[in-house]
Amino acid sequence: AFLDLSGHNEIKGVWKGSVTLPCVYVPVQDFMQQTLTWTVVHDQSSGTVFRRDGSGDHVLLSKYRDRVSVPKDTPGNVSLHILNLEMADRGTYTCQVTWTASNSSLIVKEITTKVEVVKDAVTKPVIVAGERGLTVPAGARTSLSCVASGSPPISYRWFRSSPGGRARLLGHQAELAWDSPQPSDSGTYYCEAQNR
């Protein structure tokens, strides 16, 4: 069974991540790859994602533009690489390759791969508490760090609470630093961490 395509029946990709749909064959002398097409069937629609022929590579569905590619310099490897997966990318993808033989006859083979897109478990940020009741000498550079675990990206905000319960926003970095702290900098500071 020469010129058979091999791949996977089903692949799970992570939302916003990337995935490769394998489609590979062993090149045979006297058989030239003529065309390669990757098509997809979604719940409501279908179409050609990618086509490679004598005139080059073409991405035919606009929502895949700049997100899909097929290796160029590896004969026999026509796998589809998809970047920045969307939930709407789930569906059944078909890799179809056409070869011409030296006697001009055509051979066509195809394989299909089902693609699922899953959302990774997302976790809220948890702040690792720093030391409380920190005493530092006046004039010596010092800093407070806020470290949080959880799903990236995490953004930070440092506040200083002042008498009367009003909090003042001091910065958006994980670290709050003083080059030369003064007695007037004494007080209660707190950090807030946030993700999507």
> For 15-37, what is each residue's pLDDT tens digit?
888 999 999 999 998 899 999 99
Q: How confident is the model at residue 167 (pLDDT cuts 50, 70, 90)?
A: confident
Dihedral in degrees, nearest 10, Cα atoms 60, 66, 72, 74: -110
Q: Note the CATH architecture for domain 126-195.
A: Sandwich (2.60)
Give residue-wise pLDDT tens across range 57-106.
Answer: 999 999 999 999 999 989 999 999 999 999 999 999 999 999 999 888 99
CA-to-CA distance for 158 and 174, rounded, in angstroms? 8
Examine domains 6-118 and 126-195 and report if their fold is the same. Answer: yes
For residue 20, which of 93, 74, 101 has the smallest C-alpha distance?
Answer: 93
Query: What b/e readout covers 159-196, taking b as 16+ CB neighbours within 10 angstroms?
Result: beeeeeeeeeeeeeebebeeeebeeeeeeebebebeee
- Show me where the domains of the chain are located: 6-118, 126-195
For residue 17, which of 82, 104, 109 has the smallest C-alpha distance?
Answer: 82
Provide the pLDDT for residue 94.
98
Provide the pLDDT for residue 121.
67
Longest dimension (CA), the chain: 91
Q: Residues 61-70: contacts with CB within 8 Å, 24+ apart? A: 63/88, 68/38, 70/36, 70/38
DSSP letter, residue 119: P
Region for 67 from its dihedrals, namely left if φ exceeds 0, alpha if ψ lies in -120 to 50, beta otherwise: alpha
Give residue-wise pLDDT tens across range 121-141.
Answer: 677 888 876 667 788 888 988
CA-to-CA distance for 106 and 30, rounded, in angstroms? 12
Region for 143 from its dihedrals, namely left if φ exceeds 0, alpha if ψ lies in -120 to 50, beta otherwise: beta
Dihedral in degrees, nearest 10, Cα atoms 178, 179, 184, 187: 20
Q: How confident is the model at residue 11 (pLDDT cuts 50, 70, 90)?
A: very high
What does CATH list as the number for 6-118?
2.60.40.10
Does the predicted TM-score (pTM) go above 0.85?
no
Provide the pLDDT for residue 159.
92
The pair of three-digit structure tokens given for residue 195, joined into one six-digit string: 């993700």
Give the angle 137-143-147 at the CA atoms, nearest 5°: 145
Question: Across the chain, what does the average pLDDT equal?
Answer: 90
Give residue-wise pLDDT tens across range 152-164.
Answer: 788 999 999 877 7
